[in-house]
Amino acid sequence: MNEETTFDLAVSRCASELQSWYEDCKTRMANRWPAIDFEAERWPLHTLYKTRLLDVNFEPSLDDFDGKDPAYGRALKCLMAEIALKGDLKISHAPMLGWRLLSRMDVPLHRLKRSNLVGLEKSLVEEAKSSIEKAGSSYRDLLALRAQIDQAGLKGVTERLAWSLEPETKTELIALLRILCKTAEFRLAS
pLDDT in tens, the chain (190 residues): 455 555 578 889 999 999 999 999 999 999 999 999 999 999 999 999 999 999 999 999 999 999 999 999 999 999 999 999 999 889 988 889 999 999 999 999 999 999 999 999 999 999 999 999 999 999 999 999 999 999 999 999 999 998 999 999 999 999 999 988 877 654 545 4
Distance CA 161, CA 8 (A): 17
Tally of CB atoms within 10 A around 40: 12
The pLDDT assigned to 93 comes to 87
Residue 166 lies in domain: 3-189
Distance CA 85, CA 45 (A): 11
- Closest Cα to residue 24, out of 38, 13, 9, 11? 38
CA dihedral of 61, 66, 120, 144, whole degrees rounded to 10:
20
Listed in sequence order, the residues at least 6 apart from 3 whose beta carbon sits closer than 8 Å to its beta carbon are none
Tally of CB atoms within 10 A around 98: 19
3-state secondary structure of 2: coil
Tally of CB atoms within 10 A around 36: 21
The pLDDT assigned to 186 comes to 46
The pLDDT assigned to 190 comes to 46
The pTM assigned to this predicted structure is 0.89
**CA atoms 39, 105, 118, 7: torsion sign:** positive
Please state, in angstroms and as integers, the Cα–Cα distance from residue 54 to each residue in 44, 50, 80, following that order.
8, 8, 12
Distance CA 73, CA 86 (A): 20
Within 58-92, where are the H helices?
Answer: 59-64, 71-86
Distance CA 53, CA 49 (A): 10
3-state secondary structure of 107: coil
The total number of structural domains that make up the chain: 1
Tally of CB atoms within 10 A around 10: 15
The pLDDT assigned to 35 comes to 98
Distance CA 61, CA 33 (A): 22
